[in-house]
Structure 1
């Protein structure tokens, strides 16, 4: 758990009490949720799934939102432990395995997301309706998660800013008056050991219930490092959650929860390979292993999941928070809800080498053994959110509205050491550069969404949210020598002109002299309105149609990766207008379920790296900015079937077409021209498929044998915006399987799971390291690096449930 200021702790603890004091109406009986027209029998076939994607409980098959649900049974059989394990299994969702720690998860839905966790996410992540402002230190383990809901498309009305791509909602279990005990432990290859525990039940029956969850997950590194002679990229995480539920009456419920996670896994190391356009025989080599960086004499043979990175990854990450929720029924038609949360995380430090290369002498002028790329990072964040929500339900009319406030203090300190490759045998490496930033964010929002049933089957939905986001940004850049000592420009005058500093063995760019952004516009406010309108129609009890228009909004911000004062600039908000329609259907007494959604997303000011005019330098600079326009379109097919009682089948298809409609700029000064118009987004496959089958063999009086398997496959995509052939990632496919046994009383469960049975290896991305080699027998060779997926894993688990 991070260290949390006591005043903050007292304030967060008092919030539920303050919220209770505001509720002056006398308690009356609770309102029952409205049932859909002629709902199918929940006990037959596939049965009903209840979701809260619209901030209230509804049947999945009558919810006018494209939403997928991952329940406990699927997670148990497939050994799904973290959100990364969901990659390829949910339509429209793509999760690259490129985070520098296991808890850093970046999500893409329908082609939209943010691969850089230092900036705002584009897919909102929520734990029990509490927003996580950063992708850094997200969910570690799904031990006490009742279900995971993946909402596709903009969720700006009910969930707010930074959910233009969609939202991922983790819904945790709620303790009650029944004892609920769940334990599991297992062991697998790569010395994998996982242990999870959950216990819930009444402390005072009918009045106070509690639950405790704990998770420990570890495995040795999946990647071999010959330079360090050890395995790297391991996992070692511990997490827990405590929840208290107080129900003094049938109309009032108070929930308090606290959670914390410790992550001491290794920071990621990437795998290196090469590309040579003029001499293909030099493509596909591994890391440089001999000579100098300027004139290498030897390359290693490329091997899957082998990294030569010269630094052992260090990661000390901690996250946690406390939440208070009050739910109160004012009368049979009105309820009020208060959700208060204080959260924080720190990574102190994360030190990783992401070039995949061993340390080598730079050249003759600097014979010291150094890395091509190295990073030393300290992140510290704390946030406070408060939401007051009012819900009403009368015969044909219901609504959800509220007020929302977020405060976030995000501090980043990144020493980025990217020397590149020497231009000559007398060149000096670039000096390590420290990017020290602090961003204060305040978000004020008000929202309302209502449904009016025009007939018993036809419903009109309309709503909107007004958002005001204020940000203050402070930034400082400092140059260092190779021993980590700050370079003082007053002691070394040549620094001011970008000259070499022979005594320190580094070179400082003229534009990168130590600076602060005190004279730059560093306070800004953005406003937005995100409307939604839709129609839904219950054609028959088993066929449901819906069509929606909605707008998403991602907040503007400042460049936390500025390389000089001219690039420490604000970037504009991103907006998307989405048109989608689809149907949800059950067939053959709910033995077959077919859901299909088609969509078109029109993006304005898509946030990315661009050339932008800097009022500081009076020139164009390369910075984080906005591509004027882009679009994505496609469809998502989600099917499941239970042809007989003991057989379950699933088949999902995602088609996604992405294009930049306007993304170009002419050359100006030192900034080269670029033209990405017409190019596909990087990192997004056009087709994704997922299929699974589970079969149970009952043995009378003994139990049930379980057999199952799944396969997910995706087509190729490009790692770069130019869609260059050398950065194309080929088709991928993974096959998983399990066999298990459940005792007749349902208490004991034994499962053997195998993931990536074919032991297939693929890069997630490919990124160039410096410029092509200029000298020696390997001249023209471009070093590239990237993360690779986990190898074949086999895991045996024993679980007990009472």
Structure 2
């Protein structure tokens, strides 16, 4: 029955339209823009990439922008799905389920919940400082802006890859409301609603809520069991208050709750971390490698893998006009994230490894800036400062019957890895833009940042005393002195620099203090009103960090120190054929120093993960985009990104299988050389009351790797997916009904591949889905 429904849905979608490739969604509407004009000209989107409102075509940066309508049509409901609309953007998941975002080869892979990203995410310029906080960012958005390349001068450090800024739909002067309801495969239900309007002459509000519910989509390959339920709800309340013409306030209260299942992995093969113990080796080896079926996976039986994660944020923005050309802006934000996520990433029904991630993050940030124009508007200036304080707790409670789970006759099957950190960062920044002529501008900006990070961490016995007894024996072997370790205590040994070698520490305390100056210099020239040429040189930094690791000795907690990217970029933006055709392009080169990534540390217990810095890497590439409306009602957005990202220096490190390799010349993980994606839609009037539309979207990416080392198990093959849609809408735009199909050819593709304890496992993308959406606006 399901196969028949799938076939019918696919046939319906194929009849609706055909696919198109490549990505550039720049024809979105401005804040007050109407739909496409009668002359079928393409409207420019108004963006805030430089913390002021300006047309996308006037910003001398590489930016992809997409409206909320575009995101909805493409099925983008989370930041992980931005690959569909942002060329050069890539997503992968860590072993513990945290999202990793990469733009043009710049990203940071770490298993920690509190890992500072290389691609920063904002909502209305309010930071979501950790990637795990971004799940609800797409609620009721007006548009998204993806800025490529280092953005540290205005958006702070930890944006060496770029910055993604979501613009929430704002309160309206008049009463408006709307609702969306969708039903699809796996009994998925998606419902969203908003209500907006004025409460008084000076106060406006907007309330929006969204819930996503879905049945299981993964199937166990060893038994009759399913996994993959979705239970996610998010909401936001916005208040805009203008007590006077010169003073404005915006209060944003938002949050989400996620009680979905965590995703299981697919078994690839067996690779023991240590030859010491083999409790389940015969059983694990008896598992067949998973087929190339996105639904096939496996996990431990009778284990609850339901999450209990939540996020809450309050932010207040204040704008005070100090004069006709000068504005003082303050943005204050407090965020709290809590996580209790059980995971089983080994891909087998045996208890080789599973864990519960118990984490909490509290973050406060304050930005104050003044911006204005002088000399008859020829000089734009901005100066400001930012302060942030974060408190993070990341505890990973693991269960493992792996080959390294013991010392001599003493066995252990549980342990707790803990990392609690305090992070304090302060910065000052400024920017200038001077019009040398009416069509020639110079830009410059800089930011000084000082960061202090403190860690309290340890590897703990879980309380049953088994790990404590094993490490007590190991301590006696090292020191020659009988040792007793209490149940639940820290078992991390001292070394020559901290404590006494072989003697357990009560806690590991580390600190890291760093500062840097990021900067950007650029020039843009407009030979005519519809063409821009620009060039930029940018230096950006990502802060150093500690990871959450099973620390046998304090040096396991050695931080990855700050990385730097020196970026060169030249590009153009042009509008021709009476603005029916918009073209963009850019070429770039990044000099990447001290790249942070997760590597491996050979130990008594086999290969354990650790943070490392790679001295030299580089990224070379180019990007082109096209936005075309050849006739009224037909639009085509297309483009391509080419990226060659690799390690330039000789660097010896351990790979996943305890072999020392030189990774010079290897491709940076999660970086395909080519990415193509795009969207086309044709809309026409059936009569004077109804319009009919058909559309298609497609994306293609070449092969990539999930990890360094060159092992074939960690290759991510290239793939292409096709989405189709068709529907009918009221000519006034009040309601719309749409059927859709996503990944309609059920293409099998991989998101991640890892070696965890004794198994090699991989994570697959979603299979084909299809359904219907109903939309109403008033």
Query: Cα distance 1:609–1:143, how it changes in 2: closer, same or farther (>3 A)?
Result: closer
Q: Give CA-to-partner distance per residue, 1:706-759, whole Å, 9 cap, x none.
A: 100011111111222022233222111101000011112210111111100001
User: Contact 2:415–2:467 at 8 Å: present in 1 too?
Assistant: no
Please name the residue that 2:130 is paired with.
Answer: 134
Q: Tell me, which stretches of 5 or more residues in structure 1 are unaligned?
A: 1-32, 34-39, 277-289, 360-370, 772-782
Describe the SS at the equivalent of 1:74: helix
RMSD of equivalent CA atoms: 3.3
Please name the residue that 1:468 is paired with.
Answer: 450
1:352 aligns with 2:337: no
User: Contact 2:172–2:196 at 8 Å: present in 1 too?
Assistant: yes
1:642 aligns with 2:622: no
Structure number with the bigger relative contact order (C-alpha 8 A, sep ≥ 6) is: 2
- Identify the match of residue 92 of structure 1 among 71, 75, 88: 88
User: Contact 1:264–1:316 at 8 Å: present in 2 too?
Assistant: yes
Query: Cα distance 1:294–1:494, how it changes in 2: closer, same or farther (>3 A)?
Result: farther
Please name the residue that 1:329 is paired with.
Answer: 321
Size of the alignment, in residue pairs?
Answer: 712
- Identify the match of residue 44 of structure 2 among 44, 48, 51: 48
User: Contact 1:88–1:712 at 8 Å: present in 2 too?
Assistant: yes
Query: Greater shift after overlay, 63-72 or 725-734?
Result: 725-734
User: Contact 2:184–2:772 at 8 Å: present in 1 too?
Assistant: yes
Query: Greater shift after overlay, 171-180 or 112-121?
Result: 112-121
Q: Shift of residue 230 of structure 1?
A: 2.8
Describe the SS at the equivalent of 2:57: helix
Describe the SS at the equivalent of 1:527: strand
Q: Shift of residue 171 of structure 1?
A: 0.8
Please name the residue that 1:573 is paired with.
Answer: 562
User: Contact 2:61–2:147 at 8 Å: present in 1 too?
Assistant: yes
Please name the residue that 1:550 is paired with.
Answer: 538
Query: Cα distance 1:625–1:292, how it changes in 2: closer, same or farther (>3 A)?
Result: closer
Please name the residue that 1:685 is paired with.
Answer: 672
Please name the residue that 1:454 is paired with.
Answer: 436
Query: Cα distance 1:173–1:621, how it changes in 2: closer, same or farther (>3 A)?
Result: closer
Q: Shift of residue 452 of structure 1?
A: 0.2
Cα distance in structure 2, aligned partners of 1:420 and 1:493 = 20
Query: Cα distance 1:558–1:81, how it changes in 2: closer, same or farther (>3 A)?
Result: closer
Q: Shift of residue 226 of structure 1?
A: 4.6
Q: Shift of residue 625 of structure 1?
A: 2.5
Please name the residue that 1:259 is paired with.
Answer: 254
Please name the residue that 1:366 is paired with.
Answer: none
Alignment of 1:92-491 (within 5 A): 92-96=88-92, 104-116=98-110, 117-140=113-136, 142-205=138-201, 207-227=202-222, 229-274=224-269, 292-294=280-282, 298-300=286-288, 302-303=290-291, 304=293, 305-310=295-300, 311-347=303-339, 349-359=340-350, 371-394=351-374, 395-421=377-403, 431-480=413-462, 485-487=464-466, 489=468
Q: Tell me, which stretches of 5 or more residues in structure 2 are unaligned?
A: 1-29, 31-35, 272-277, 495-501
Please name the residue that 2:77 is paired with.
Answer: 81
Query: Cα distance 1:100–1:755, how it changes in 2: closer, same or farther (>3 A)?
Result: farther
TM-score, L = length of structure 1: 0.83
TM-score, L = length of structure 2: 0.86
Cα distance in structure 2, aligned partners of 1:743 and 1:596 = 37
Q: Give CA-to-partner distance per residue, 1:160-186, whole Å, 9 cap, x none.
A: 010010000011122131222121111
Query: Cα distance 1:726–1:490, how it changes in 2: closer, same or farther (>3 A)?
Result: closer
Describe the SS at the equivalent of 2:338: strand
Cα distance in structure 1, aligned partners of 2:748 and 2:714 = 16
Query: Cα distance 1:114–1:228, how it changes in 2: closer, same or farther (>3 A)?
Result: farther
Query: Cα distance 1:608–1:447, how it changes in 2: closer, same or farther (>3 A)?
Result: same
Query: Greater shift after overlay, 227-236 or 309-318?
Result: 227-236
User: Contact 1:498–1:510 at 8 Å: present in 2 too?
Assistant: no
1:587 aligns with 2:558: no
